[in-house]
């Protein structure tokens, strides 16, 4: 056995063991969102409008287990002169009954489908990664409440 193999083998085993506890699960969940603060309207010189610091509260239900969690999201959006969403992004903090927290970000372009990314968390969600797509399934006529489906993966350490 060469010196290089002897030196590399312990490092390889260490790195492999470090990932041995990582688990990736499929995400399938339904969310119910209510806008709790519309945010500040900033008109831009080109006629578009920024909406900043909007807040929403969401109830999330795991489609497989029925587990529920609560989520608070802050939103910034760019709308055209007619009020149509062009782009938006959010940052969400999800809280589970055991006190663990899961953070995410999402971006959308005015369609019913957006992408989200898990950005970490606490407890069992420490170092969480992954993400997927979110699809709006219905919107109330007042524009302040909606339902959506998230599908993707979540990897935890």
Q: Using one digit for the tens of pLDDT, what is the confidence trace for 98-139?
A: 999 999 999 999 899 999 999 999 999 999 999 999 999 999
Residue that has been written with the tokens 């290089």 in this structure:
4
Compute the distance between CA of residue 115 and CA of residue 104 in angstroms, rounded to an integer. 10
Any idea what the CATH number is for the domain that residue 38 is in?
2.40.350.10
If one counts every other C-beta atom within 10 angstroms of the C-beta of residue 75, the result is 22
Has residue 8 been placed in a domain?
A: no
Has residue 101 been placed in a domain?
A: yes
pLDDT reported for residue 79: 96
- DSSP letters, 10-48, are HHHHHHHHHHHT-EEEEEEEEEEEEEEE--EEEE-TTS-
Has residue 14 been placed in a domain?
A: no
The total number of structural domains in the chain stands at: 1
Has residue 15 been placed in a domain?
A: no
Has residue 16 been placed in a domain?
A: no
Burial of residue 57, with CB atoms counted within 10 A of its CB: 0-12 exposed, 13-18 middle, 19 or more buried: middle
| Nearest by Cα to 56 from 39, 44, 69 | 39
Over pLDDT 90: what percentage of the chain? 82
Has residue 121 been placed in a domain?
A: yes
Has residue 49 been placed in a domain?
A: yes
If one counts every other C-beta atom within 10 angstroms of the C-beta of residue 131, the result is 20
Residue that has been written with the tokens 């599908």 in this structure:
151
pLDDT reported for residue 1: 46
Q: Over 60: is that where the pLDDT of 20 sits?
A: no
| pTM across the whole model | 0.82
Has residue 81 been placed in a domain?
A: yes
Domain that holds residue 25: 21-156
Confidence label for 15 from pLDDT (cuts 50, 70 and 90): very low
């Amino acid at each position: 056995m060469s010196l290089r193999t002897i030196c590399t083998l312990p490092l390889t085993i260490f790195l492999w063991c470090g990932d041995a506890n990582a688990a990736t699960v499929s995400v399938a969940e339904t969310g119910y969102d209510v806008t709790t603060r519309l945010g500040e309207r900033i008109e831009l010189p080109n006629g578009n409008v920024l909406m900043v610091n909007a807040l929403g509260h969401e109830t999330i239900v795991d489609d497989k287990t029925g587990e529920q969690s609560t989520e608070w999201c802050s939103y910034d959006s760019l709308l055209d002169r007619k009020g149509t969403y062009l782009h938006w992004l959010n940052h969400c903090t999800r809280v589970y009954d055991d006190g663990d927290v899961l953070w995410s970000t999402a971006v959308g372009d005015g369609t019913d489908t957006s992408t989200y990314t898990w950005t970490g968390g606490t407890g069992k969600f420490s170092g969480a990664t992954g993400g997927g797509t979110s699809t709006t399934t219905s919107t109330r006529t007042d524009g302040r409440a909606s339902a959506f489906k998230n599908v993707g993966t979540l990897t935890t350490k």
